């Protein structure tokens, strides 16, 4: 009996190794836990296009929005761990969410196989183009003066936009009306349309509309200006040095996805970040690309654990 079990186990291992060697033999679903057109979706589509060429199979984006991204990530956690369903998570879903959702149905640290970091995304404070403030100080004064009459748009509790604007409100002592959307793609549409007043959003979603003058940018919350937005001052230059925050987007697979498959996906992602076309598109949108060790799956796993800890402390302190 023992020999039969050992033989069966060996067969299963060999089958697993064979399937990993042949992987992928069909299209790969990439869950994006927000509406199409937003920063997470745009990053997923840019790297996905290049990864499809490297892997020889289409990466097909599936937008599953809701609950600040936790709905889509929960779906990804529960997917079959065969390498044919992966997901684009970020600083909200895999950093802030556990502190904001007591009944969250996944653990960002233990329920996933980290594949790799795709892009860092500095946060920019933006408003509708006719917002009555000509700089960050006037913007802050307006928020303090008319806080309950102003609408801040975000992608729901736990999202990057919600989390980073919460930080802004804590620092300014403001309590605006907060309007949740299924992603900051739709947020941007309403900012351009003047239907909401302001947002804290990831630069890759905003560069085109800021350059077109369709929305106003008051400051970028990073120590130095972005090459993609050279005229937008840092929060430090604009008088709010305490407001410094950046987000990130990274690929994950369900726990138990075979290591050789995770390695293939990590390699394809790294090649996407070196591909001239996808690299240029991400940089032109203000993305900050990982280099060297920051591209490894191991680095992402350690980073996510640190982010969950950091944002948990920040959010509990803000209560």
List contacts with ligand MLT (CB under 6 A). Answer: 34, 38-41, 69, 90, 92, 155, 159-161, 183-185, 202
Report the nearest approach of ligand MLT to the CB of residue 201 (Å).
6
**In sequence order, which residues have a C-beta less than 8 Å from that of residue 181 and are 6 or more positions away?**
35, 153, 154, 155, 156, 187, 190
Nearest to ligand MLT of 23, 181 (CB atom): 181
Report the nearest approach of ligand MLT to the CB of residue 154 (Å).
6
Closest CA to 62 of 92, 79, 46, 85: 85
Q: Which residue has its beta carbon closest to ligand MLT?
A: 38
- Paired strand residues for 153: 179
Nearest to ligand MLT of 45, 264 (CB atom): 45
What kind and span of H or E run contains 303? helix 297-318
Q: Which residues of 299-311 are buried (b: 16+ CB within 10 A; e: fewer)?
A: bbeebbbebbeeb
Report the nearest approach of ligand MLT to the CB of residue 37 (Å).
8
- DSSP string across 95-155: IIHHHH-TT-S--TTTSEEEEEEEEEEEEEEEEETT-S-SSHHHHHHHHHHSGGG-EEEES
Nearest to ligand MLT of 124, 262 (CB atom): 124
Report the nearest approach of ligand MLT to the CB of residue 298 (Å).
24
Is residue 253 within 8 A of residue 113, CB to CB? The reply is: yes
Q: Give the C-alpha separation, 82 to 86, whole Å.
A: 9
Nearest to ligand MLT of 50, 63 (CB atom): 63
Q: Give the C-alpha separation, 248 to 122, whole Å.
A: 8
Report the nearest approach of ligand MLT to the CB of residue 39 (Å).
4
CA of residue 275 relative to chain centroid, distance: 21
Report the nearest approach of ligand MLT to the CB of residue 119 (Å).
11
Look-up of token digits 């430090």: 236
Nearest to ligand MLT of 23, 248 (CB atom): 248
Nearest to ligand MLT of 72, 254 (CB atom): 72
DSSP-derived pairing of the beta strands 28-32 and 151-154: unpaired
Nearest to ligand MLT of 34, 106 (CB atom): 34
Report the nearest approach of ligand MLT to the CB of residue 278 (Å).
18
């Amino acid at each position: 009996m023992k020999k039969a079990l050992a033989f069966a186990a060996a067969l299963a291992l060999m089958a697993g190794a064979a399937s990993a060697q042949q992987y992928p033999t069909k299209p790969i679903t990439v869950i994006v836990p927000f509406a199409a057109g937003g920063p997470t979706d745009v990053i997923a589509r840019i790297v996905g296009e290049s990864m499809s060429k490297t892997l020889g199979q289409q990466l097909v984006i599936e937008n599953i929005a809701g609950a600040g991204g936790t709905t889509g990530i929960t779906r990804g956690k529960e997917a079959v761990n065969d390498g044919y369903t992966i997901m684009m998570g970020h600083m909200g879903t895999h950093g802030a969410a556990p502190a904001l959702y007591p009944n969250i149905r996944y653990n960002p640290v233990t329920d996933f196989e980290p594949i790799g970091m795709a892009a860092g995304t500095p946060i920019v404070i933006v408003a509708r183009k006719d917002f009555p403030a000509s700089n960050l100080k006037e913007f802050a004064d307006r928020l303090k003066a008319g806080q309950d009459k102003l609408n801040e748009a975000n992608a729901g509790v736990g999202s990057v936009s919600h989390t980073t604007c919460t930080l802004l409100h804590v620092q300014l002592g403001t309590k605006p009306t907060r309007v949740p959307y299924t992603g900051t793609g739709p947020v941007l549409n309403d900012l351009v349309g003047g239907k909401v007043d302001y947002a804290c959003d990831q630069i890759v979603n905003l560069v085109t509309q800021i350059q077109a003058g369709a929305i106003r940018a008051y400051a970028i919350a990073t120590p130095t200006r972005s090459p993609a937005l050279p005229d937008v001052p840092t929060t430090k230059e604009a008088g709010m040095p305490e407001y410094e925050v950046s987000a990130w987007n990274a690929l994950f697979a369900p726990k138990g996805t075979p290591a050789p498959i995770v390695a293939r996906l990590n390699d394809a992602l790294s090649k996407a970040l070196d591909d001239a076309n996808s690299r240029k598109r991400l940089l032109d949108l203000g993305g900050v690309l990982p280099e060297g060790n920051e591209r490894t799956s191991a680095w992402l796993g350690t980073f996510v654990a640190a982010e969950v800890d950091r944002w948990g402390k920040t959010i509990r302190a803000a209560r």
